């Protein structure tokens, strides 16, 4: 078993989706369940918005539970723009697992998110000059990776300008941590050495019938990146939590995006809960929905309301999106807020 620890649900789903697309059986869990027979288990520790001390405690505890199942490999998934308590969580894993050090690469060259001479840039723009400078929880006021991470003599942060920079040969005593591209590169290196082989039954994917689609977007970054216009071009009716909504809206559209928008001011957690409150009546009596969840806080708030803790990962192969299916429930498409939805996904 390969274990992934992520600090939010969208990150766990993203990496589990990458693994599933390569032929691995994969699950996403919000509570670690060692009885799973999946090749890869991605655990959402839900620590992005916890205090630093609480995040470290939770991650250390989950790591110890995972170690009792003797995983072949542990990967620490982090936010690609270093939001969250990354240094504290990495060091908690190092301590719990008795590892020496960590190579940390949050870069995603496939999405033009690069680290050049220690500075993070997106599309050639320094991180602190992008929409992430206005993040409500972790405003990115610097582009220096070491400054954003904090001081640690156990964490290395190499430059990453192209995918080959991520094909690093790591010793067993070194933890790999970072974003999706680094995981994909390290998984490719480890496939043969870990003795895993693709399962034919896990590569069939899911061919959904034409369904109604509800997209819930709780990401301020997505809204600032013109997500509403992007989804309108794909035939979505776009509404925000400021609009009056009722289930009768499905009489006028089969594709609905409900977003928090950009309210003048409010607590992010309150906005997320308001979004879920608005969405749940739209699910009533609908057995033909597929649901898109944009943003880790949105995704975990939604599944908690529904009481789901364990998800099969469907290998549809949409880059950056995890396709999850709770037992007997609608299919969920889970994605970080800052990436666009791939063509053909929703």
**How confident is the model over 126-178, as pLDDT tens digits?**
999 999 999 988 999 999 999 999 999 999 999 999 999 999 999 999 999 99
pLDDT > 90: percent of the chain: 78
Asked if 339 contacts 320 with a C-beta cutoff of 8 angstroms, the reply is yes
- Total residue count of the chain as it appears in this document: 346
Mean pLDDT value across the chain: 91
73-77 and 174-178 beta bridge pairing: parallel
85 versus 268: the higher-pLDDT residue is 85
What digits encode the pLDDT tens for the residues 7-35? 999 999 999 999 999 889 999 999 999 99
The CA-based diameter of the chain, rounded to the nearest angstrom, is 59
Query: What is the pLDDT at residue 232?
Result: 97
Query: What is the pLDDT at residue 221?
Result: 87
Residue 209 has pLDDT above 80, yes or no: no
Query: What is the pLDDT at residue 154?
Result: 97
* DSSP summary character for residue 81: T
**Cα distance between residue 51 and residue 55, in whole Å:** 6
* DSSP summary character for residue 313: E
Residue 98 has pLDDT above 90, yes or no: yes
Query: What is the pLDDT at residue 332?
Result: 93
Residue 279 has pLDDT above 50, yes or no: yes
CA-based torsion, 315, 316, 318, 320: positive or negative:
negative
Of 81-85, 183-187, 321-325, minimum mean pLDDT range: 321-325
CA 62, 186, 45 angle in degrees (round to 5)?
20
Q: How far is CA 78 from CA 10, 187, 236, in A?
A: 11, 16, 31
Identify the band that residue 198 occupies on the pLDDT scale cut at 50, 70 and 90.
Answer: low
Instruction: State mean pLDDT over 85-96.
Output: 98
Alpha helices by DSSP H, listed for the chain, are: 9-21, 52-67, 86-97, 145-149, 180-194, 220-224, 227-233, 268-283, 296-306
What digits encode the pLDDT tens for the residues 40-54? 999 999 999 999 999
Place of tokens 């060259």: 109
Domain boundaries, given as residue ranges, for the chain: 2-201, 205-335
For domain 205-335, give its CATH number from 3.40.980.20, 3.30.710.10, 3.90.1150.10, 3.40.50.300: 3.40.980.20
The CATH number of the domain covering residues in 2-201:
3.40.50.10840
First to last CA, the chain: 31
Of 117-121, 167-171, 200-204, 256-260, minimum mean pLDDT range: 200-204
**Cα distance between residue 276 and residue 273, in whole Å:** 5
215 versus 327: the higher-pLDDT residue is 215
Identify the band that residue 196 occupies on the pLDDT scale cut at 50, 70 and 90.
Answer: low
Q: Which residues contact 217 (CB under 8 A, 6 or more apart)?
A: 223, 227, 257, 258, 259, 260, 292, 294, 295, 298, 337
The tokens of 170 are what? 């790591």
Q: Do domains 2-201 and 205-335 have the same CATH topology?
A: no
């Amino acid at each position: 078993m390969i274990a992934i620890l992520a600090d939010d649900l969208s990150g766990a789903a993203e990496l589990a989706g990458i693994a599933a697309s390569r032929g691995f059986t994969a699950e996403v869990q919000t509570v670690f369940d060692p009885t799973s027979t999946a090749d890869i288990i991605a655990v959402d520790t839900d620590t992005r918005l916890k205090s630093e001390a609480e995040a470290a405690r939770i991650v250390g505890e989950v790591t110890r539970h995972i170690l009792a199942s003797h995983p072949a490999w542990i990967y620490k998934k982090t936010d690609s723009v270093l939001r969250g308590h990354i240094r504290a969580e990495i060091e908690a894993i190092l301590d719990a697992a008795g590892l020496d050090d960590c190579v940390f690469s949050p870069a995603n060259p496939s999405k033009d998110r690069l680290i050049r001479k220690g500075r993070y840039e997106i599309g050639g723009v320094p991180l602190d000059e992008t929409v992430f400078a206005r993040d409500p929880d972790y405003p990115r006021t610097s582009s220096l990776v070491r400054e954003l991470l904090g001081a640690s003599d156990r964490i290395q942060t190499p430059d990453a300008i192209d995918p080959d920079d991520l094909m690093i040969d790591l010793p067993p005593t070194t933890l790999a941590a970072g974003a999706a591209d680094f995981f994909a590169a390290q998984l490719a290196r480890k496939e043969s050495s870990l003795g895993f082989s693709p399962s034919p039954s896990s590569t069939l994917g899911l061919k959904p019938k034409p369904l109604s689609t509800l997209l819930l977007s709780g990401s301020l970054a997505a809204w600032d990146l013109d997500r509403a216009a992007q989804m309108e071009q794909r035939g979505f009716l776009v509404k925000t939590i400021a609009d009056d909504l009722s289930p009768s809206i499905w009489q006028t559209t089969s594709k609905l995006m409900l977003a928090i928008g950009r309210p003048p001011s409010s607590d992010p957690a309150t906005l997320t809960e308001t979004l879920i409150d608005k969405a749940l009546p739209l699910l009533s009596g609908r057995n033909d929905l597929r649901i898109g969840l944009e943003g880790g806080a949105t995704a975990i708030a939604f599944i908690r309301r529904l009481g789901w803790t364990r998800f099969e990962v469907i290998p549809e192969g949409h880059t950056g999106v995890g396709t999850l299916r709770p037992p007997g429930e609608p299919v969920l498409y889970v994605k970080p807020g800052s990436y666009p939805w791939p063509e053909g996904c929703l």
